[in-house]
Amino acid sequence: MRRMFAFLAYMLLCSNAYSAQYRAALVADMDTGRVLYQENANELNYPASLTKIMTLYLTFDALEHGRLALNDYLIVSQAAANAEPVKLGLPAGSKIRVEDAIKAVAVYSANDVARVLAENLKGGQEESFADLMTRVAREIGLNNTNFENSSGLPNDDHMSTARDIALLSMAVYKHFPQYWHFFGIKSWTYNGKTYTNGNRLLTSYNGCDGMKTGYTKKSKYSLVATANRNNHRLMSIVLGAENKDVRANVAAQMLNRGFSMLSNGAQPVVKNTYVPPIQQAPQPVVKTEPQPVAQTYTQHSNSSTNTFAVAYNTATSSAMPKYTGSAISGSSQATGGGTGVQFAAFSSQASAQTQVANVKSKLGVNAVVEPTGTGLYRVRVYGLTDVTAGQLKSQASANGIDSYVFH
Q: How far is CA 196 from the centre of its chain?
A: 21
* Burial class of residue 343 (count of CB atoms within 10 Å of its CB; 0-12, 13-18, 19+): buried
Rounded to whole angstroms, the Cα distance separating 51 from 149 reads 8
Task: Please list the pLDDT of the chain residue by residue as tens digits (407 residues).
Answer: 344 434 444 444 444 555 679 999 999 999 988 999 999 999 999 999 999 999 999 999 999 999 999 999 999 999 999 999 999 999 999 999 999 999 999 999 999 999 999 999 988 899 999 999 999 999 888 999 999 999 999 999 999 999 999 999 999 999 999 999 999 999 999 999 999 999 999 999 999 999 999 999 999 999 999 999 988 899 999 999 999 999 999 999 999 999 999 888 777 777 765 444 433 444 444 444 333 333 322 333 333 335 443 322 222 233 333 333 433 333 333 344 689 999 999 999 999 999 999 999 999 999 999 998 888 999 999 999 989 999 999 899 899 888 889 88
Which residues participate in catalysis according to the annotation? 49, 52, 109
Strand order in the sheet with 339-346: 368-371, 377-384, 339-346, 404-406
Helix (H, G, I), strand (E, B) or coil at 312: coil
Rounded to whole angstroms, the Cα distance separating 235 from 26 reads 8
Domain segments of the chain as ranges: 2-271, 312-406
**What pLDDT, on the 0 to 100 scale, is given for residue 299?**
34
* Backbone torsion region of residue 329, taken as left when φ is above 0, otherwise alpha when ψ lies between -120 and 50, otherwise beta: beta
* Backbone torsion region of residue 171, taken as left when φ is above 0, otherwise alpha when ψ lies between -120 and 50, otherwise beta: alpha
Rounded to whole angstroms, the Cα distance separating 341 from 389 reads 6
Specify the DSSP class assigned to residue 319: G
For residues 230 and 266, is the Cβ–Cβ distance under 8 A? no
CATH of domain 312-406: 3.30.70.1070
The b-or-e profile of 37-55 (16+ CB within 10 A means b, else e) is bbbbbbbbbbbbbbbbbbb
**What pLDDT, on the 0 to 100 scale, is given for residue 243?**
96
What superfamily would CATH give domain 2-271?
A: DD-peptidase/beta-lactamase superfamily (3.40.710.10)
How big is the CA angle at 172 (ends 109 and 314), to the nearest 5 degrees?
Answer: 130
For residues 268 and 32, is the Cβ–Cβ distance under 8 A? no
The b-or-e profile of 318-333 (16+ CB within 10 A means b, else e) is eebeebebeebeeeee
Identity of residue 266: A
